[in-house]
Amino acid sequence: MEKIILVGSGGSGKSTLAKQLGDKLSLKVYHLDAIFWKPNWVGVPKNEQREIQHELIKNEKWIIDGNYGGTMGIRLKAADTIIFLDVHRTICIYRAFKRMLQYRNKTRPDMGEGCEERLDFGFIK
C-alpha cells in the first residue's frame, strides 16, 4: 500500500481516514478539495485538475482523497489500493452538519484556503 486513493460521499470520512493512514504509513496525503478550490469557492478548471493529478501520481508514494469523477481515471490507474467508504447517507449528512458547526466561519484543514465551511442543498442532494 503505497499509492492509495479514498473515495466516497461527502461526510463519509475520506479526509479523516486519509490523515490517519498517512500518519500510520508515513505517506504524504493530498486532499483534492484543498488543491482544487481557490478562495471563495472558485474551482480550478478541469484541464488544470488533470495536470495537477498527473504530477501527483508521479510521486513514488501517496494518499489522495477526493472524488472528482471527471478525473477519477487518472488516480484509479495509478493506485495500488482503492478504499471506497460506503457510508449511509444519513450518517454522511450528520457528519457534514457536525463538521459545519465545528468549522463555522473557518476553513477546515483539508479544504482550500478561504473556503469557509458550508452545507447547502447541492451537497445534501
Structural domain total, the chain = 1
Tens-digit pLDDT string for the chain (125 aa): 999 999 999 899 999 999 999 999 999 999 999 999 898 889 999 999 999 999 999 999 999 999 998 999 999 999 999 999 999 999 998 998 888 888 887 777 788 788 777 777 766 66
Given the DSSP bridges, would you call strands 81-85 and 29-31 parallel, antiparallel or unpaired? unpaired
The parent domain of residue 116 ranges over 3-124
CATH number at residue 100: 3.40.50.300
pLDDT at 78: 98
How far lies 18's CA from each of 3, 28, 76, 101, 121, in Å?
Answer: 12, 9, 16, 22, 26
Order of all β-strands in the sheet with 62-65: 29-31, 62-65, 3-8, 81-85
Q: Give the C-alpha separation, 1 to 62, whole Å.
A: 9
Task: Give me the phi and psi of 84, to 5 degrees please.
Answer: -105, 120
